[in-house]
Amino acid sequence: MAPADPTADGVFPPPRFDPGSGQWVQMLSRTGPQREAGLARLHDLLLRIARGELQRRSGQLRITGPELDDLAYQVAADALLAIVAKLGQFRGESKFTTWAYKFVIFEVSAKIGRHFWSNQTVPMDAEDWERLPGRFGADPAQQTERRDLAGAVRRAVDENLTPRQRKVFVAIVLNGVPMDALVTELGSTRNAIYKTMFDARRKLRAALAANGYLNDQTTGHS
């Protein structure tokens, strides 16, 4: 369904929903038993989605059984709170349930990010550059290639990145910290961390191309 267009006077008309979505919004917008029933029904649906998503990503969590199910309940409860708080922002661009599932998916990602630090310790200032070639699948037998690659990238990082870009690059690339875990650690947002990495990648590629390590147009060692 297309988003509503503003009328000539710039005022948005009330959103038009498909029948199923309209029922959800109506139920959740009321007070009393109908709303309570709607909340309970939505919670059951969110719990089902949370269980499925946690199961799908269970390899990143290393928890199973009752602990995983407890987490599913937490995800469903937190997603339900967020959905109720943002109900007025639902514009009918998708089914209501699709929009609601998105909150579950985001909650799962955030919880996996926080969970990372509960069973791992990564010193944020550690810089083991010998790990770098392995991160990009360089052949362990190709010692010259590994040395060249690590040395060239380290120089490009030293000469081109800001301290913030370096910190993020080192955490993600050298130390293998997942982006959502880094978001938690730095009290940042996924968008901000991604933008920092995006700018760092662009700078590093330009520097490595300028120094003849990468081609401007194509891939591979020049």
Using rule CB under 8 A, residue 153 touches another protein? yes
- Separation of alpha carbons 188 and 171, rounded Å: 14
177 touches another protein (CB under 8 A)? no
Closer Cβ to another protein, 32 or 140, answer by number: 140
Residue 114, classed as helix, strand or coil, is: helix
Q: Which of the ranges 7-15, 64-72, 117-125, 205-213 carries the binding residues for another protein, by CB under 8 A?
A: 205-213
Please count the residues of the chain: 222
Asked if residue 184 lies in contact with residue 117, where contact means CB atoms within 8 angstroms, the answer is yes
Phi then psi for residue 3, to 5 deg, are -65, 155
Residue 165 as a binder of another protein (CB under 8 A): the answer is no
Q: Please state, in angstroms and rounded to a whole number, the distance separating the CA atoms of residues 183 and 222.
A: 36
Site for another protein in 19-78 (CB under 8 A): 45, 48-49, 52-53, 56-57
Looking at residue 64, the DSSP 8-state letter turns out to be -
Q: Which residues sit at the interface with another protein, rule CB under 8 A?
A: 45, 48-49, 52-53, 56-57, 93-95, 97-99, 101-102, 104-106, 108-109, 133, 136-139, 142, 145-146, 149, 153, 178-180, 189-191, 194-195, 198, 201-202, 204-205, 208, 213-214, 219-221
